């Protein structure tokens, strides 16, 4: 019987893993199934654009995987039994596997803050972004929108909303200082953009609870809002933690350097769902930036083990943080391998164009899972860094 590989989740990580496995293995040797709850590929990195009213290109998974040998199954995973090696689906069907690739991604994390589920909007998922889009469209001039979360998603969301709707009164609540992890020049560019867009920033503002009319900060200060947008991090779905897989305190599957579960060698985890260690022995953060190379790594390791070849190593390191600041501005903060800001950066329109290229490149990578993305990335990196030096020299 063919070796049965079941890939769960067709986000960036799962879709790339499935496509790469299809290219690396012979169709007569494997039976490759990709399960996803929705029929199309969702560009999660553009959810703030969707929420702000932009329309995204539909990307049906059936078209993307046509002719690849990957069998697409649109269904929702409800449970995984890693002892019986089966996956339960919402339709009532059950899939048996020999190798499982778990890539179910993540959703918005409320961190147990009261009122988030009842009163806040999120944009970590497409349904969430669409709900927020609808609500923003209802708002009249002067209505107050508060984005909670000063991380990458919060910055992208607050600037996108403020740029699209200059008639709104837009604010950001950040637990730390604004862009505190960026380089000095990165922080000052961010501050300039935020001022230009008229965004009020509440720094060192930890939200204690969300209410219908805004939030209450630690210390008791209230910040009023007609719409509160919650972007304070991601949490994984509870399916892995409900199985006998070894998971971390965050519910992510603990894996080795080949993305193989440390407790169940026939299970691999990729993307946000995996707890993988990166350079400096730091866990890779939930991101597309690390989700893509770990998907290459998992697929290559599976293919190598099944065919008796040497396991190649994907570059599990960071190069940059790409932050859109509306459609016409951005910030590309170059970072060390373990994600700490370096002095070099790109900003303004150059950065906005670079970020757009990265987003397009990520989708391209899903459709072309084996075609030398690391090489393109290094080249882009060198070109952008060269351009960045020129930009900085004239700034």
Ligand X SMILES: Cc1cc2nc3c(=O)[nH]c(=O)nc-3n(C[C@H](O)[C@H](O)[C@H](O)COP(=O)(O)OP(=O)(O)OC[C@H]3O[C@@H](n4cnc5c(N)ncnc54)[C@H](O)[C@@H]3O)c2cc1C
User: What residues make contact with ligand X under the rule CB under 6 A?
Assistant: 9-14, 35-38, 42, 44-45, 47-48, 76-77, 103-106, 123-124, 152-153, 156, 237, 271-273, 286-289, 291, 322
Shortest gap between Cβ of 78 and ligand X (angstroms)?
Answer: 7
**Alpha-carbon span 276 to 20, nearest angstrom:** 20
Nearer to ligand X, 13 or 346 (CB): 13
Of 280, 313, 318, 288, residue with least CA distance to 299: 313
Nearer to ligand X, 99 or 106 (CB): 106
Nearer to ligand X, 14 or 19 (CB): 14
**Alpha-carbon span 285 to 351, nearest angstrom:** 22
Shortest gap between Cβ of 247 and ligand X (angstroms)?
Answer: 15
Shortest gap between Cβ of 83 and ligand X (angstroms)?
Answer: 20
Nearer to ligand X, 178 or 294 (CB): 294
Nearer to ligand X, 168 or 232 (CB): 232
Shortest gap between Cβ of 36 and ligand X (angstroms)?
Answer: 5
**Alpha-carbon span 296 to 370, nearest angstrom:** 8
Backbone angles phi, psi at 153, to 5 degrees: -65, -40
Shortest gap between Cβ of 209 and ligand X (angstroms)?
Answer: 23
**Alpha-carbon span 375 to 305, nearest angstrom:** 24
Backbone angles phi, psi at 289, to 5 degrees: -55, -40
Shortest gap between Cβ of 159 and ligand X (angstroms)?
Answer: 12
Nearer to ligand X, 116 or 289 (CB): 289
The beta-strand segments (E) located in 37-188 are 71-74, 77-81, 86-89, 94-96, 99-102, 106-108, 120-122, 144-148, 169-173
Shortest gap between Cβ of 290 and ligand X (angstroms)?
Answer: 7
CA angle 364, 127, 353 (to 5 degrees): 35
Report DSSP letters for 66-84, one per residue.
TTSSPEEEE--EEEEETTT
Of 36, 101, 6, 153, residue with least CA distance to 294: 101
Say if residues 331 and 347 touch (Cβ distance below 8 Å). yes
Tell me the residue number closest to ligand X, measured at CB: 11
Nearer to ligand X, 210 or 270 (CB): 270
């Amino acid at each position: 019987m063919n070796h049965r590989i079941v890939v769960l989740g067709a986000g960036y990580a799962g879709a790339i893993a499935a496509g790469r496995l299809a290219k690396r293995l012979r169709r007569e040797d494997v039976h490759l199934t990709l399960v996803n709850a929705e029929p199309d590929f969702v560009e999660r990195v553009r959810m703030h654009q969707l929420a702000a009213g932009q329309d995204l290109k539909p990307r049906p998974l059936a078209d993307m995987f046509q002719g690849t040998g990957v069998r697409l199954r649109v269904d929702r995973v409800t449970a995984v039994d890693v002892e019986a090696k089966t996956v339960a689906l919402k339709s009532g069907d059950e899939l048996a596997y020999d190798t499982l690739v778990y890539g179910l991604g993540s959703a918005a994390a409320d961190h147990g803050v009261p009122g988030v589920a009842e009163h806040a909007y999120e944009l970590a998922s497409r349904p969430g972004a669409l709900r927020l889009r609808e609500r923003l469209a209802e708002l009249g001039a002067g209505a107050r929108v508060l984005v909670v979360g000063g991380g990458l998603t919060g910055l992208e969301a607050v600037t996108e909303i403020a740029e699209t709707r200059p008639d709104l009164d837009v604010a950001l609540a950040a637990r730390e200082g604004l862009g505190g992890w960026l380089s000095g020049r990165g922080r000052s560019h961010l501050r300039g953009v935020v001022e230009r867009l008229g965004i009020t920033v509440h720094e060192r503002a930890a939200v204690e609870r969300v209410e219908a009319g805004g939030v209450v900060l630690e210390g008791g200060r209230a910040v009023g809002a007609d719409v509160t947008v919650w972007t304070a991090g991601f949490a994984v779905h509870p399916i892995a933690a409900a199985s006998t897989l070894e998971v971390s305190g965050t519910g992510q599957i603990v894996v080795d350097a080949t993305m193989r579960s440390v407790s169940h060698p026939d299970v691999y985890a990729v993307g946000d769902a995996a707890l993988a260690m990166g350079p400096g022995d730091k866990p890779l953060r939930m991101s597309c930036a690390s989700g893509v190379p770990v998907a290459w790594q998992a697929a290559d390791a599976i293919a190598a083990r099944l065919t008796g070849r040497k396991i190649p190593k994907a570059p599990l390191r960071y190069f940059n943080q790409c932050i859109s600041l509306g459609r016409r501005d951005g910030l590309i903060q170059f970072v060390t391998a373990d994600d700490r800001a370096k002095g070099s950066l790109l900003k303004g329109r150059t950065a906005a164009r670079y970020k757009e290229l990265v987003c397009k490149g990520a989708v391209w990578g899903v459709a072309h899972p084996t075609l030398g993305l690391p090489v393109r990335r290094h080249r882009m990196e060198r070109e952008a860094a060269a351009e960045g030096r020129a930009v900085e020299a004239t700034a």
